[in-house]
Structure 1
Amino acid sequence: MSAATMLLATGCGGHQGPGSQTAQAAHQRPVERGSVISATSVADLTAQEVESRLKKAGIETAQVRYGVQAHRIIYRTVTAKGKPTTASELVAMPKNGPRELRAVSWLHGTQVYRGDVASVNDESTDRATALLFASTGRAVSAPDYLGLGKGPGSHPYGHPRATVTASVDALRATREFARRDGHTLARSVLISGFSQGGPAAMMVGRALQQGHDPSFRVGALAPIAGPFDLSGFEAGAADDDLNRSPLYLAYFATAWNRMYGLYDTPSQAFRAPYDKKVETLFDGNHTGGEIAAALPRTSKELFTADFLDKVRKPTGKLRRQLHALDTTCDWRPEAPVHLFHAKGDKDVSFANSQHCRRQLIANGVHPKLSDEGNVDHNTTVIKALPEVIRGFDATR
């Protein structure tokens, strides 16, 4: 029987002898969020094998100290509306590491295809990133978020509550799995994330500081190349100022329409013939390459003029929902904050991290902001990761 099957089988059976009423009552109790449903081994690497995998991804290997075991965990959480559901994450842990481990919460960037996340795609940069953090002697929780990986339904792209609950419940599942593996997790959590994961890191950090789960506290925050001014980011996509503007804005439009109702019919947002197929493309089962090939090269060709104006000058509910994502840095972290970005980033401009830094300064915090230079969006995270680890090493 596999480890995953063993976890699922515990407590099951048809015996109705003495004590069965107690057993039935236990099964009827609400299931605890963050509880582990299954665990599937996806990697078991020596330190040398970790180094080889990181080199393949272009990631510096000087900080590797341990081999790594990684598992795909299915755990219990809640939907954006608070209803029970499940989600997946990658949990990576050092082999022969210390008994007590500090946890890293790694929050990934925009993924349109459910199979590209860390728990599923062995070749993903997010998988390599988790291996790197674990190889430094830390336990890594890398949630896939709702609706990606092995989670059911569609991904609620950028939904604040869903981002926090899926990520904190993933930390709870990581703690449970670590105990079964003979480890304990320290209270202090080191939080980092890339692109979409930048604002996610700040939201999760704020929730933990506010006591979302008192058994965890924020040890450090290190967001990388995040769209902290989402209103400005989407307006830039409407104006075709970004690399991949049509893809970013179409993902935003279809996901937020499901959550908030941005349009009544696709033809109100999308020009023909794209109005007949865009929503199907963003079902989580198409790769980024497939979607990009099916879309025009500009937002002007893809969207109606009225919808583009709505994005440039949001009002009402759209404006309120965007404001929540424009203010993920508008609080006072008690833990160190180090922002990373690159002035060469043509997907998410450097101005986004400056926006975050200004909000933090207004709250009395003076974070570092490191410029990774004239490199593109995806290279930014590759360059920043060794610096993130050095910063984490300096915290206690």
Structure 2
Amino acid sequence: MLWAALLVLPGAGCKSEAAEPTTQPEAPAATYLQSSTLLGEYSTSAVAARVSDIPFVGALAKYPIKVYRLTYRTHDAAGKEVTASGALLVPQVAQALPLLSYQHGTISPAQEDRAPSYYSSRSEIWSAMSVLAANGYIVSAPDYLGYGASKALAHPYEHAATLASASADMLRAAREFCAQQKVTLNKKNFLLGYSEGGFATMALHKLLEEQHASEFTVTASAPGAGAYHKTAFAKYILESQEPLDFLSSYVWVLRTYNQVYGLNRPLTYYFNQPYATQLQSDPFGNVPKLPAQLFTSQLRTSVLNGTDQVLLAAFQANDIYDWQPKAPLALFHGTADDYVPYFNSEDAYKAMQARGATQVELRPIEGGDHFSSAATYTLGAYAFISQYY
């Protein structure tokens, strides 16, 4: 039903006749963009065929698209300049179009080919984002650090600052590419992403509005199922007496913060034996489901009673739920999410309202878990941003 609704929403086929101001000056010298490679050209029927199992969705493909792999300059968590990459999907239509930044979900190192710049059938952008591009959005899809051109680096998992900066610099590279190729942009910028991509989308929205408002105006964003309230999430995990199915992801977050924030503690501080030794040799190995089995009593006690100020400061640096967005923002989240609990979006909604945000919506996906909610999120997010096309 949501897909059917999209067919009659503005921007989902019927384009406004009103002229949009453009950002199409003479192409400047590239500051961020390093290289571009054409990965392929796809007809509307080819794009539609990828979603043929979902009724009505293929009808959203209005324009053929070209897909490029961009490499661009950005910075790592220590401020060092590095080369990153991403995919840029460009509809082939002669009118000014908006940019849409799509932040992908969690990709393990073993899933490198799922990064957007590979544009493989295993990538999130292969089907759904291609349809969105074929509907009239120029889609910028950063790989983040740790994938694609920067795969030699460790991915800074759930680190808000580098997820946001890598995504923002990809947008800058996309603008430079469009200027070089005479692709006309209007001034609208949309943001989407689910799971780690939801967290990255929220971080990017916050960064653009608070630090780069003169450069980018966020038109609307729709983050889904992100871990926005890191401090509360950490305490939820460490005090849980129930089995948790996704502790390996939380191990990854701890390893990232241990390195990025210079804590450099031995793994034995965080994890009981034999798991500390096992994780030292295989960081993505299996771990037990019970938090008390995996995490040391020292870690659990010091976080829960507030005495580990250094680690708590790292969590707080990644709390991105409590701020005042100006652009329309819809928070999508499954109410039965046992991977990233629903309270992350609920806390963000309440905190933003308390700060005076007037265009924030909470969109619960009733009974949905982290994975079953993904399709509903995608449909709802498309419908939400289409109102502002």
For Structure 1 versus Structure 2, the TM-score category normalised by the shorter chain is 0.7 to 0.9
- For residues 44-93 of structure 1, what are the alpha-carbon distances to aligned partners after superposition, in whole Å with 9 as ceiling and x for unaligned? 32222222223469994453322322222111111112211011111112
**Does the CA contact (< 8 Å) of 2:244 and 2:289 recur in 1?**
no
Q: How does 1:4-83 map to 2 (within 5 A)?
A: 33-35=31-33, 37-55=34-52, 60-83=57-80
Per the alignment, do residues 329 and 272 of structure 1 end up closer, same or farther by CA in structure 2, a change over 3 Å counting?
A: closer
- For residues 320-355 of structure 1, what are the alpha-carbon distances to aligned partners after superposition, in whole Å with 9 as ceiling and x for unaligned? 2212322x2322222111111111222112221111
TM normalised by structure 2 equals: 0.82
The corresponding residue for 1:376 is 369
Tell me, in whole angstroms, the C-alpha distance in 2 between the residues paired with 1:242 and 1:182.
54
2:388 equivalent to 1:395 = yes
Per the alignment, do residues 32 and 93 of structure 1 end up closer, same or farther by CA in structure 2, a change over 3 Å counting?
A: closer
Tell me, in whole angstroms, the C-alpha distance in 2 between the residues paired with 1:55 and 1:244.
33
Tell me, in whole angstroms, the C-alpha distance in 2 between the residues paired with 1:313 and 1:225.
27
**Does the CA contact (< 8 Å) of 2:113 and 2:122 recur in 1?**
no
Runs of 4+ in 1 over 6 A off after TM superposition: 56-59
Select which of 351, 354, 363 maps to 1:362.
354
The corresponding residue for 2:337 is 345
The corresponding residue for 2:93 is 97
Tell me by how many angstroms 1:374 deviates.
2.1
The corresponding residue for 2:195 is 195
Question: Percent same amino acid at aligned positions?
Answer: 28
**Does the CA contact (< 8 Å) of 2:303 and 2:312 recur in 1?**
no
Other structure's SS at 2:374 match: helix
The corresponding residue for 1:28 is none
Q: How many residues align?
A: 354
Per the alignment, do residues 310 and 217 of structure 1 end up closer, same or farther by CA in structure 2, a change over 3 Å counting?
A: same
The corresponding residue for 1:141 is 140
Tell me by how many angstroms 1:213 deviates.
6.3
Tell me by how many angstroms 1:361 deviates.
0.3
The corresponding residue for 1:317 is 310
The corresponding residue for 2:149 is 150
Tell me, in whole angstroms, the C-alpha distance in 2 between the residues paired with 1:270 and 1:332.
37
Other structure's SS at 1:210 match: helix
Per the alignment, do residues 126 and 277 of structure 1 end up closer, same or farther by CA in structure 2, a change over 3 Å counting?
A: farther
Other structure's SS at 1:370 match: strand
2:121 equivalent to 1:122 = yes
**Does the CA contact (< 8 Å) of 2:244 and 2:290 recur in 1?**
no
**Does the CA contact (< 8 Å) of 1:237 and 1:245 recur in 2?**
no
The corresponding residue for 1:271 is 272
The corresponding residue for 2:251 is 250
Tell me by how many angstroms 1:311 deviates.
4.3
Per the alignment, do residues 126 and 236 of structure 1 end up closer, same or farther by CA in structure 2, a change over 3 Å counting?
A: farther
Tell me, in whole angstroms, the C-alpha distance in 2 between the residues paired with 1:136 and 1:246.
38
Higher mean C-alpha displacement, 271-280 vs 222-231: 271-280
TM normalised by structure 1 equals: 0.81
The corresponding residue for 2:22 is none
Structure 1: gaps of 5 or more residues: 1-30, 283-290
Tell me, in whole angstroms, the C-alpha distance in 2 between the residues paired with 1:241 and 1:223.
28
**Does the CA contact (< 8 Å) of 1:104 and 1:138 recur in 2?**
yes
- Higher relative contact order by CA 8 Å / sep ≥ 6: 1 or 2? 2
Tell me by how many angstroms 1:111 deviates.
2.3
Q: Which amino acid aligns with 1:340?
A: F
Tell me, in whole angstroms, the C-alpha distance in 1 between the residues paired with 2:350 and 2:102.
24
CA RMSD of aligned residues (A): 2.6
Tell me, in whole angstroms, the C-alpha distance in 1 between the residues paired with 2:99 and 2:297.
47
Q: Which amino acid aligns with 1:99?
A: Q
Q: Which amino acid aligns with 2:252?
A: Y
Other structure's SS at 1:297 match: coil
Per the alignment, do residues 55 and 356 of structure 1 end up closer, same or farther by CA in structure 2, a change over 3 Å counting?
A: farther
**Does the CA contact (< 8 Å) of 1:237 and 1:248 recur in 2?**
no
2:108 equivalent to 1:112 = yes
Tell me, in whole angstroms, the C-alpha distance in 2 between the residues paired with 1:201 and 1:234.
20
- For residues 279-302 of structure 1, what are the alpha-carbon distances to aligned partners after superposition, in whole Å with 9 as ceiling and x for unaligned? 4534xxxxxxxx35x333333333
Tell me by how many angstroms 1:190 deviates.
0.5
Per the alignment, do residues 269 and 149 of structure 1 end up closer, same or farther by CA in structure 2, a change over 3 Å counting?
A: same
Tell me, in whole angstroms, the C-alpha distance in 1 between the residues paired with 2:49 and 2:76.
38
Q: Which amino acid aligns with 2:166?
A: A
